[in-house]
């Protein structure tokens, strides 16, 4: 099973950038890394994914290290509504770890 390591929790001030790290050292060369978030008990919401290059969309940016063993999700201007559990995921079964509980503070 795919294994990821993330800090269990992080705080971020509203309006500041939130940088969420993930280690995925066992990812193989052709596997994408995906980021999801879960607000309360809703279904996981897709945020962004990437293979080798850094990616950006309307929600976030994704920085992937050159060796692909880790990545960082960046929420450039965090809002209170970004408070959620964030997961990095890879592998064809999209196996979820415990994730990072991000608290955005006013």
d(C-alpha 82, C-alpha 7), whole Å: 17
Tokens standing for residue 25: 């050292």
Report in angstroms how near the CB of residue 46 gets to other proteins at its nearest.
Answer: 4
Contact flags string 22-61 toward other proteins, x per CB under 8 A: --------xxx-x-x-x--xxxxxx--x-x----------
14 binding other proteins? (CB under 8 A) = no
- Considering beta carbons, is residue 95 or 105 the nearer one to other proteins? 95
List, in order, residues 6 or more apart from 90 with CB less than 8 Å away.
Answer: 2, 4, 24, 27, 31, 32, 33, 34
Q: In the window 59-98, what residues touch other proteins (CB under 8 A)?
A: 87, 92-98
d(C-alpha 106, C-alpha 95), whole Å: 32
Question: Footprint of other proteins on this chain (CB under 8 A)?
Answer: 30-32, 34, 36, 38, 41-46, 49, 51, 87, 92-99
């Amino acid at each position: 099973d795919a294994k990821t390591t993330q800090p269990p929790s992080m705080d971020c001030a509203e309006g500041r950038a939130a940088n969420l790290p993930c280690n995925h050292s066992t990812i193989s060369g052709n596997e994408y890394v995906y980021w999801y978030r879960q607000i309360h008990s809703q279904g996981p919401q897709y945020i962004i994914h990437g293979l080798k290059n850094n990616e950006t969309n309307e929600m976030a940016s994704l920085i992937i290290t050159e060796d692909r063993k880790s990545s960082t999700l960046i929420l450039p201007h965090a809002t209170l509504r970004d408070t959620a559990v964030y997961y990095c995921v890879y592998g064809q079964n999209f196996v979820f770890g415990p994730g990072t509980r991000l608290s955005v503070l006013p």
